[in-house]
Structure 1
Amino acid sequence: CGYCQPGQIMIAAALLAKNRKPSDEDIDNTMSRALCRCGTYQRIRRAIHRAAQEV
């Protein structure tokens, strides 16, 4: 729905700035601060892993 997207992007960018190869646990712990109404947490995790490959 896009409601949480800006916050998810900012948190993910901060995570990747500190940790270029985050584990699933790193991602889950960091992203737990942003609630997603759609429940797309697994897709968000995959997107962060893909973004980590690009940086």
Structure 2
Amino acid sequence: MSFIDKAKNTAEKVTGEVKEAVGKATDNKDLQAEGKKDQTKGSIKNVGEDVKDAFKK
């Protein structure tokens, strides 16, 4: 299940990058902030998965 979780987290991070880029292109500060938030959430979740994997070994 860890692979699926990591894929979801990476997708969230990529979605955040797209939102941030669109926000910059359209000068939409709210969308930029939402994109950065999504990227951070995805990164933090991936770190959590890495920690879980480390304890499984």
**Bigger radius of gyration:** 2
Query: What interval of TM-score do these two structures reach, taking the shorter chain for normalisation?
Result: 0.3 to 0.5
TM-score, structure 2 as length reference: 0.33
**Relative contact order (alpha carbons < 8 A, sep ≥ 6): 1 or 2 greater?**
1
TM-score, structure 1 as length reference: 0.34
Larger % of helix: which?
A: 2
